[in-house]
Structure 1
Amino acid sequence: MKSMTKQHPLKLSGLAAALVAAGLLATSLQAAELGGSELTPMGAERAGSDDGRIPAWDGGLQEGPGNWREGYGNPFADEEPLYVITADNYQQYEDRLAPGQIAMLETYPDTFRIPVYPTHRTAAFPDSVYAKVKENASTAQLVDNGNGVENFSEVTPFPKPDSGVELVWNHSTRYRGEGAEREVTLATPQADGDFTPVTINEEFMFIADPEENTLFHFLQSVTAPARLSGTVLLVQETMNQVKEPRRAWIYNAGQRRVRRAPQVAYDGPGTAADGQRTSDGLDVFNGAPDRYEWKLVGKQEMYIPYNAYPLLNTDLSNEDIIQAGHLNPDHLRYELHRVWKVEGTLRDGQRHIYNKRVMYFDEDTYQLAHVDQFDGRNNLWRVSEGHTVQFHDVDVPWYAAETIYDLVNNRYIVSGLINDTRGYNWDYDARASSFSPAALRRSGGR
C-alpha cells in the first residue's frame, strides 16, 4: 500500500493549481465583461435605472461648446431643474441624500438648496485608458494590507471593486491626462461671506508606476495675495506611503530656502486653507489609506454635483459664486447618479482629526462626489463636495470646484474656480525634471 503521507502533498498541489487556474479564468472573464452589454469599459452598469431617471451610458460626452483654450460652454444650458430640494421638502428625497446634504439644508434653511437637473452620463475616457483598465481587471492586486497596488498599468486598477480600499485606490489613480497646468482660485469665506481670493498655480504630472512606487508629481505656487505669494509646495507622491512616505518640500519666500515638509500629509494643514482643509482633503481625498478601515457598504442612487458647467462660466465672477455659508445655488447643478458608498473608520492606535469618513464615488468615473467627515465623538463635522465636469475636448472628467463645509464654525473652503484666472492648460509639457527640489528652488526665486 502506498504511503498516504507521500500522496497528500501531490493532491494538494494539484488542487492548488486547479484553484489558481480557476481564479485566472474568473479574472479573464471579468475583464472580458468590460465594455460589453452589461458593463461600461470602466466597470459601471451600462443600463439605466428601472424608472428611467438614470439613463444608459452611451459613450459619454464626446463634444460640446467651447474648449480649454477659448473657455467651456454649458452643453445643457437650456435645461431647467426638474425640482429643487429644500429644507421644507427634503423628506421626500431623503433616501437619495447623504447625511451631510441634509445637514446643510437644515443649517441654512433659507439659502441652501439642491437644484436637481436631468441626468447625463457624460463620463468618457480615451480608448487607451479603456484598454489599460481592461488589462488591470485581470492583473491588479492589493499588497501590504491595502496600502499599495501591484501589477496594474497607470489608471483605475479595480474596475470591478469588491472592497472599500479598492474604490479609494480607483479615485487616487483615476485618469486626469498625462499632465496639466491650471491657475485657480481658492477662498475661505468668513461666516458673513467676506473673503479674500487666493490665486494658485498648480502643475501635475501623473506617472503611476508600482515598480517605482510613484503616483504623481505636484507643484503648487501661491501667487496672490501679496502676503501669501511666493510659497511653493512640491510633492512627489509615492504609491505605497507605508513603504515610503510622501516626499514633500516647501519653498518659503521670506526665508528663501527649501525645506522638507513631512506635515503635508494626513491631517496636516492644507495650503492657504485657514484651517478649513486637511492635507488629505485636497482632491476631496488624497494620500495614504492606511489610517482607516475601509468598508464597502454597496451601491445606491444619490443626488450629486454633476456636469457643473455653470461653475466654468467665465462671465461669472468669484463674487457671483461665493456667498456666506455655501456656494450660490443659482450656479450649482445636481443630478441623480449611482454611487459606491464606502465607510472609512479610524483604525485603533491611529490618529486623525476625522474619526470617520463616509465616501460616495461616482460609478462612471470612480471620482469622489461627496464625503461626510465625523469628529472624535462621531458627530458630523464637515461636508465635502466635488463638482464634476467632463472636459470633453481632452476626455478628462475632473472637478470644476471642490468645497468643504464646516458645520461647526459655519465657514467653508472652495478651490479650483477658474472664473477670474487663466484656467487650464492641457498642452502642459510634464517633465520629471520640473518636479525636483532644485527646480523648486529655481521656481521660488523667480
Structure 2
Amino acid sequence: MLKRVVIAAASLSLALTAQAKVDEGQAQRLGQDLTPLGGEKAGNAEASIPAWTGGITKPVAGYQVGDHHPDPYAADVPVFEVDAASLGAHAERVPLGLQQLLKDNPDYKMRVYPTRRSASAPQRIYDATRYNATNGELIANGNGVQGVASGIPFPIPQEGLEVIWNHIMRYRGESLEMNTNMAAVLANGDFNLQRQERYAYFVYGREGITPGDLDNTLFYYKYRITAPAKVAGSALVVQEPLDQVLAIRKAWRYDVGQRRVRRLPKLAYDSLQPDTNGIGLADTVDVYNGAPDKYEWTLVGKKEMLVPYNSYKVHQKGLKYDEIVQKKHVNDSLLRYELHRVWVVEAALRPGHSHVHGKRRFYLDEDSWQILSVDLYDEDGQKLVGAQEVHPINYYEVPLMTSTLEVTYDFKGSRFLVDGLDNNEKMYNFNADLTPRDFTSSALRREGR
C-alpha cells in the first residue's frame, strides 16, 4: 500500500512540474518549412548548405544487408582544408575543442567536403515526431519526459534541456547486435584493442509502443569482451531508465577474474567507464547520456559549423585498425568534415554539485539530433581540457543517422579514446533477436558460467 502511495505522490509531482508543449500552429511547420524532425528545410543564403530533400531514402546500388556501407559520396573532393596555420580564417565555424586539437597537432588537417544532408528516418518516426510536438513535455524539473513513446520528443525546442533530450531519445533502431573494437591510446601512441560484442534492446522508439508501455525504461544494453584474452569473458549489463532521478540506472558487471556478478551502484555522471583506461566517463557513452540534473542547460542558438559528417571513408571494410588509430589522433585523411547548421547547447554545473567537467558545449545536428562535437572544460568550467567527436553515417538499410566512430580527446594527458572500430567485423544487425530477459543479472551470471 505504501509503495502505491509513493508512486501516486511521485506521479502528482511529475504532473505539477510538466512544461508547456508547442501549439498546433507551430507544429504544422513540420514537413513544411521544417523537416519532419525539426531542422530547417531550406539551405543557407550562400548555398554552401543545401536544402534538405529527404536525405538518403534507399541503399546505394549493389548494397546488401550485412555489408559495410559503400560511400554514396565517394566521388566528392574537399572544397578546402583547415589546419593550425589556416585556422584563423575559419575559427568562427570550428568548435573550440577541435581548434585545440589543430593547435596541438600541426599535422592534423580538417578536410572540408561539400555538405550532404543525408540524414533520414523511417516514416513512422516522422509521424511520431509530429505527434510529439503538441504532446511531449518535460517533467520532474527536466529530469524526465512524458507524453511520448517514439520519435524526437521536442522537434521545435524552446530550451537547451529539450535539445539534449532530443539526442538522448533519438531513433537508433529497435534491437541491435554489433561487434566493435575500442582503443585507449596513450601519450606515446601505445594502445591495445579491446573487442566487444554489444547488444541493445530499445523500448522507446519501438513500433507500436505507447507512453504507458515505457514503464520509465528507455533501453537495455549489454556488452561482452572477447579480446584480449586476459579480460575476455568480462561483461556488463545496463537497464536504462528514462528519469534517472526517479529511478537510478541498474548495472551489473561480470568479472572473469573473480568469476562473479556484482552490482555497480554508481555507474553514472563522472564515474569512470569500465575498460577505458580512465579516459571514458559513464555519462560520455554515446557522447552524453543519463540524468541531466547536475547542470543548467542554456540554448545558445543555432550556428553554421564545420563538423564531422558522412564518415563512410573511415567506416570502409578492411581498413587496418592501426591505420585508423595514430599517435595523437585518428588518421585525419580518413575523416570528412562538412558545414552544417547545429544547435549549440551549453551545460554549466549547478551550485552544490560536482563533476570533472564543470562546463560542456554541445553541437547537435539539426537534421538528426545526433551530437557531433563537444567542448569539455575542467571542474571549474574555465579551462578547455578535452573534446569529443562523433563521425556519423546514415545506416541506410534502416534508415537512421548515428555514429560509426566516437573519439574522446584528453588534452591534459595527450591521449584519446576511440570507440566503434568495426572495419574487420561483421556489420551491425538492426534486427537482432533479443528480449528484455537477455539484459538481467541472471542472464549475465548464466553467460559467465
Q: TM-score, normalised by structure 1?
A: 0.92
1:230 aligned residue? 233
State the AA in 1 paired with 2:95.
A
Q: 2:148 aligned with 1:152, yes or no?
A: yes
State the AA in 2 paired with 1:254.
G
Distance in 2, Cα, partners of 1:424 & 1:444 = 24
Instruction: Give the drift of 1:210.
Output: 5.5
Stretches of structure 2 lacking an aligned partner (at least 5 in a row): 1-19, 205-209
Instruction: Give the drift of 1:376.
Output: 2.0
Q: Which one of the candidate residues 187, 191, 215 is aligned to 2:187?
A: 191
Q: 8 Å contact 1:68–1:426 — kept in the other structure?
A: no
Q: 2:56 aligned with 1:61, yes or no?
A: yes
Distance in 1, Cα, partners of 2:354 & 2:226 = 33
2:360 aligned residue? 357
Distance in 2, Cα, partners of 1:292 & 1:310 = 36
1:175 aligned residue? 171
State the AA in 1 paired with 2:303.
Q
Please report the RMSD computed on the Cα atoms of aligned residues, expressed in angstroms: 1.3
Q: 8 Å contact 1:184–1:423 — kept in the other structure?
A: no
1:393 aligned residue? 397
Distance in 2, Cα, partners of 1:241 & 1:31 = 29
Distance in 1, Cα, partners of 2:447 & 2:338 = 41
Distance in 1, Cα, partners of 2:236 & 2:65 = 25
Distance in 1, Cα, partners of 2:41 & 2:437 = 41
The 5 A counterparts of 1:363-374 are 363-374=366-377
Q: Between Structure 1 and Structure 2, whose CA radius of gyration is higher?
A: 1
Instruction: Give the drift of 1:423.
Output: 3.0
Distance in 2, Cα, partners of 1:171 & 1:43 = 13
Q: 8 Å contact 2:231–2:256 — kept in the other structure?
A: no
Q: 2:71 aligned with 1:74, yes or no?
A: yes
Specify the SS of the correspondent of 1:33: coil
The 5 A counterparts of 1:232-381 are 232-377=235-380, 378-381=382-385
Distance in 2, Cα, partners of 1:128 & 1:337 = 25
Q: 8 Å contact 2:167–2:369 — kept in the other structure?
A: yes
Stretches of structure 1 lacking an aligned partner (at least 5 in a row): 1-22
Q: 8 Å contact 1:234–1:250 — kept in the other structure?
A: yes
The 5 A counterparts of 1:202-221 are 202-208=198-204, 211=212, 212-221=215-224
State the AA in 1 paired with 2:45.
D
Distance in 2, Cα, partners of 1:203 & 1:264 = 18
Distance in 2, Cα, partners of 1:314 & 1:439 = 32
1:442 aligned residue? 446
C-alpha offsets along residues 271-328 of structure 1, whole Å, 9 cap, x if unaligned? 2110111011111111111111100000000011000001211121101110011000
Task: From the superposition, tell whether residues 382 and 210 of structure 1 become closer, same or farther in structure 2 (CA, over 3 Å).
Answer: farther
Q: TM-score, normalised by structure 2?
A: 0.91
Mean Cα deviation higher: 189-198 or 350-359: 189-198
The 5 A counterparts of 1:415-430 are 415-430=419-434
Mean Cα deviation higher: 421-430 or 382-391: 421-430
Specify the SS of the correspondent of 1:158: coil
Distance in 1, Cα, partners of 2:311 & 2:108 = 17
Instruction: Give the drift of 1:129.
Output: 0.4
State the AA in 2 paired with 1:259.
R
Instruction: Give the drift of 1:230.
Output: 1.5
Distance in 2, Cα, partners of 1:365 & 1:67 = 24
Distance in 1, Cα, partners of 2:297 & 2:386 = 19
Instruction: Give the drift of 1:67.
Output: 4.3
State the AA in 1 paired with 2:301.
G
Distance in 2, Cα, partners of 1:198 & 1:262 = 24
Q: 8 Å contact 1:264–1:279 — kept in the other structure?
A: yes
Runs of 4+ aligned residues of structure 1 deviating over 3 Å after TM superposition are none
Percentage of identical aligned residues: 40
Distance in 2, Cα, partners of 1:31 & 1:206 = 26
Q: 2:158 aligned with 1:130, yes or no?
A: no
1:406 aligned residue? 410
Distance in 2, Cα, partners of 1:290 & 1:114 = 35
2:17 aligned residue? none
